[in-house]
A and B are shown apart, each in its own frame.
Chain A
C-alpha cells in the first residue's frame, strides 16, 4: 500500500492520527447505514416482485379482454366509445424518508368517485365484453399505482446502496490502510531520529570525557 507523501514530523503524525480516527468512525457509520439500507431494500424488492407478477397477470387478462371486445365490435365503434373519458386521474406526490433517501408516495385522486364513471359510453351500442375489459383494467389500477411506488423506491434505494457500498469499500481497503501505513512510517522515522540523536550525544560525552582525561595526564 502506497503511503502518503508527507514530511515525517510530529505535527504531521498528530494530524494523521486524527484523520485515521475520523476515517474509522466514518467507516463504522457507513457500514451500519449500508446494512440497514440493505434490510429495507430487500423488503421492498420482494414486494416489488410479487406485485409485478400480479399486475402483469391482471393486465394481460385485461388486454385479452380488449382484444375480444374489439373482435365483436367494429373498430370505429370501440374507438368512439373510449375516446372521451368521463373519469380523470391524477396523483399527489409526497415523500417518505427511508434512511435519508426520499422515496415517493402517491395518492390517487379521481375526478369523480362514482365507480360507474369508468364507462364513458352508453351501453346501447357497445358489447358486454367491453364492459368487462374496462372493469378488469380498472381493478388493477390501485395495484399499478402501488407498483410504481415500490419499484421507484427500489431503484432509488439501490442507487443509494451502491454509493454507500463504494464509500465503505474505499475507506476499508484504501483510506484506512494508507493512513496506517503512513503513521507507521512517521513513527519509525521519528524513532530512528531519536536513536541517532541519542547515540550522537553519547559519542559527544565520550569525547568530552576523553578530552578531560587527556588534560589531567598532561
Chain B
C-alpha cells in the first residue's frame, strides 16, 4: 500500500487534506526539495505537486522521470495553471518521436 501525496503551498493543498491525501505544505524551494526526496524514498506512489512549486525544483523532479515510482504529476495551484504540466506532455512526445506531433 502506498500513499498519495500533494505538495504545494498551504492554501493549495488544504483541500486535499480533507479528502485524505497526504498533504504536505511547503513554502520555499529548499524544503520542497527535501520533502520531495523524502516522499520519493518512502512509501509514496504518486506525488502531485503544484506547478508554481514545480518550476523552482524542476531538476529534482526530472530525476524521477525514468523511475516507476514515484509518479510526479503537476497540478495547477491556487493561482491557476502555468501551462508547464501540458508542456511536459509535449516534451514526452518530442522525446519519443523526435518532434512534437500532437495536433493542436
Chain B residues contacting A91 (CB-CB under 8 Å) are 1-4, 45-46
Contact yes or no, B66 A155, CB < 8 A: yes
Contact yes or no, A59 B75, CB < 8 A: yes
Chain A residues contacting B48 (CB-CB under 8 Å) are 144, 148
Chain A contributes a number of interface residues (CB within 8 A of B) equal to: 63
| Segment at the interface with B among A13-21, A24-32, A103-111 | A103-111
CA–CA, A62 and B12, complex, Å: 10
Contact yes or no, B15 A82, CB < 8 A: yes
Contact yes or no, A159 B45, CB < 8 A: no
Contact yes or no, B73 A158, CB < 8 A: no
Chain B contributes a number of interface residues (CB within 8 A of A) equal to: 40
The interface of chain B, by Cβ under 8 A from chain A, is: 1-4, 11-12, 14-21, 45-46, 48, 65-66, 68-69, 71, 73, 75-78, 80-81, 85-86, 88-89, 92-93, 95-98, 102
The interface of chain A, by Cβ under 8 A from chain B, is: 38, 41, 45-46, 48-49, 52-53, 55-56, 59-60, 62-63, 66-67, 70, 78-79, 81-83, 85-93, 95, 102-104, 106, 109-111, 118-120, 133-134, 137-138, 141, 144-145, 147-149, 151-152, 154-159, 161-162, 165
